[in-house]
Amino acid sequence: MLVAVAKETFPGEKRVALIPAAVSGLIKAGMEVMVEASAGEAAGFPDQAFAEKGAKIAQNRAEVFQADVILQVRAAGANPEAGRADFGQFRQGQTLIGMCDPLGSPQPAAELAQRGVTLFALELLPRITRAQSMDVLSSMATIAGYRAVLLAAETLPKMFPMMMTAAGTIAPAKVFIMGVGVAGLQAIATARRLGGVVSANDIRPAVSEQVQSLGAKFVQLQLDTAAAEDKGGYAKEMDDEFLRKQREMIARVVAESDVVITTAAVPGKKAPTLVTAEMVGGMAPGSVIVDLAAERGGNCELTSPGQTVVHNGVTILGPTNLSSDVPYHASQMYAKNITTFLLHLVEEGRIKLDWEDEIVRDTAIAHGGKVVHPRVCELLGIAPPTDAGQKPHEPPRAAPAGDSAAAGENEYKVSEGGDN
């Protein structure tokens, strides 16, 4: 079985789906590996490094699409414009694995299904122990949370740590993290390492211990949060009345903060507004907001995706692909996730799909010429298949709190662009 890695075509994307160190594991499992020329250069992985590990270097994209399995970072709906140029090269029976944004942009998945492609969306991996090493959203959210704090530190006209100097004492920066998922926890840890005084909030009260274990203060809201967490441990989307009360209680904390980092995104839907224009108006000039949900419309009312907005002296950053800013380690983590997933599907060198396995069921979007994922079928307005081999499954749980990632879906998670 030939596995190929296509060079990413999404504007500004520097990651690569596979790194040289991951090639040998696939070869050992009985696969051949092909990598498109220069696919890894932007991430720091030259063609020679892949070749030394046994991968063949494809000199043109058409050669890549002769493979049985194609690995990408952004596939289908996660690269809806530039990615469409590849659709004509897919053929029946091929397998495509990557982040596909099937809940936000389902139509590309339907088009690939019509071409007979088996499509797996890694964002939909179930949050179970067996799938932890495949969890791309958590991996990318980790990087997004780290990068968000560095962006804030670069933008803030203050230093993060307290300093005792001959010129006087410098007070530490106050950092407020909204949403304590993977990205939020990494943001807390990074801000603490830089010396900031950190507080955090999440609609799931159970995460308060995690916040405190990192040396931050958990901002407790006097709200009924009994319905804020589902049985899978994910933060759920709350109604408008809950969000209104939450915003009222948080306004004071936001006003006192030098930096606010928001991480709440809802896959396939607009991100909830947590920071209103009125709240921004209450912040001191020079303060910074980093909105990790910018790709989904933003948690701040004034966020503009991919842009920097200045309002009454407050800078609002709306990054949409933070993981790509650290492409070397982002690719390293992503490669581990995607190869673990692929090896999970492979038996004796070939892909064998076990439809009783929830990892397979929850991530499979298209197979056998049809869209097979119930949630995506619902978005497309079609009935899910009921024949054997394309077995319907329980509605997917949303992604882990914090991306991308992408870091919940109907829950708090970091948007991979933020993790797509």
Catalytic site includes residue 127:
yes
Under the banding of pLDDT at 50, 70 and 90, the label for residue 401 is: very low
Domain boundaries defined on the chain: 2-136+327-380, 141-325
Q: Given 94, 138, 246, 415, which residue is catalytic?
A: 138
pTM value is 0.87
Cβ distance 196 to 155 under 8 Å?
A: no
Q: Given 15, 72, 94, 127, which residue is catalytic?
A: 127
Per-residue model confidence as pLDDT tens digits over 271-312: 989 999 999 999 999 999 999 999 999 999 999 999 999 999
Q: Is domain 141-325 annotated with CATH 3.40.50.720?
A: yes
The one-letter code for the residue type at 315 is: T
Under the banding of pLDDT at 50, 70 and 90, the label for residue 394 is: very low
Per-residue model confidence as pLDDT tens digits over 33-48: 999 999 999 999 999 9
**pLDDT at residue 403 above 90?**
no
At residue 223, the pLDDT reads 58
Nearest CA among 59, 60, 21, 17 for reference residue 40: 17
Token pair, residue 317, equals: 């950053």
C-alpha atoms less than 13 angstroms from C-alpha of 381 in its C-beta half-sphere:
1
**pLDDT at residue 389 above 70?**
no
Helix or strand (DSSP H, E) at 275: none
Extended beta strands in 249-395, E state: 259-262, 288-291, 308-311, 314-317, 346-347, 350-351, 364-367, 370-371
Q: Given 38, 48, 59, 132, which residue is catalytic?
A: 132
Catalytic site includes residue 412:
no
At residue 220, the pLDDT reads 81
The stretch 377-398 carries a mean pLDDT of 65
Nearest CA among 244, 242, 286, 293 for reference residue 412: 293
2-136+327-380, what's its fold?
Answer: Rossmann fold (3.40.50)
Least confident of 38-42, 252-256, 366-370, 384-388: 384-388
Under the banding of pLDDT at 50, 70 and 90, the label for residue 232 is: very low
**pLDDT at residue 414 above 90?**
no
At residue 387, the pLDDT reads 59
- Supply the mean pLDDT for the chain: 88
At residue 86, the pLDDT reads 95
Q: Given 47, 86, 101, 135, which residue is catalytic?
A: 135
Under the banding of pLDDT at 50, 70 and 90, the label for residue 267 is: confident
Residue whose structure tokens are 């405190």: 212
At residue 224, the pLDDT reads 57
Nearest CA among 393, 333, 396 for reference residue 128: 396
Q: Given 74, 199, 234, 257, which residue is catalytic?
A: 234
Per-residue model confidence as pLDDT tens digits over 98-145: 999 999 999 999 999 999 999 999 999 998 999 999 999 999 999 999
**pLDDT at residue 409 above 70?**
no
Assess whether the previous peptide bond of 402 is cis (omega < 30° from 0): no
The stretch 153-182 carries a mean pLDDT of 95
Helix or strand (DSSP H, E) at 14: none
The stretch 79-93 carries a mean pLDDT of 94
**pLDDT at residue 416 above 70?**
no
**pLDDT at residue 413 above 80?**
no
